[in-house]
Each structure stands twice: as structure tokens, then as C-alpha cells.
Amino acid sequence: MNIQELINDSQTTIVDVRTEEEFLEGNVRGSINIPLHEVVDRVEEFKKIQPLVLCCLSGNRSGQATDFLQAQGCNQVYNGGGWEMVDAQKI
């Protein structure tokens, strides 16, 4: 399954790891906001809501979160890159 199919799969949760303020300025329809600084403390929550596509502004923070979560045993976590790129692929 490619990233666009994942983004549009009803089973996939899109998580925006930007700050709450950034998220409120614009976000992917249906996404949830879990800021990067909260990821470490919420690993168990992430494990329960897989598959996941993470996004942020440019893909840097979501890449960090993806790498961390994969190292913690989350094997259905994908970096979607910037939220606007993810939003553009959402049908």
C-alpha cells in the first residue's frame, strides 16, 4: 500500500506532531494533534491506533517521531511529510 492509499484508508490515523498553535492554523481534515514533545509519553496510545501516518510542517518532526515510534515497536507508522502534502493527497 502506498502513502496515498494509507492516507485515504479509513483504518489509518493521521497524526500531526506540530504544536497545538500550528495545528489550529491549518491541518489535515480528520487528523489528530499530538505534539512531538508528547510522543515519548504516549507510545502505548500510538500502538493502539496503528496504522499511522505522521505529518508536521516539512516532514522533519514527523520523521523524528516515526523513527522513534518504529524503534519502540510500532511497525505500522509512516512519515507523510508536510501536512499540506498529506492534505493534498486526501480524497
**Is the whole model's pTM more than 0.85, yes or no?**
yes
CATH number at residue 67: 3.40.250.10
Domain of 20? 3-89
Over the stretch 12-51, which tens digit does the pLDDT of each residue have? 999 999 999 999 999 999 999 999 999 999 999 999 999 9
Give residue 17's pLDDT. Answer: 98
Give residue 1's pLDDT. Answer: 82
Q: Return all residues near 19 (Cβ < 8 A) that are at least 6 apart.
A: 35
> For the chain, how many structural domains are there in total?
1
Residues annotated catalytic, as ranges = 56
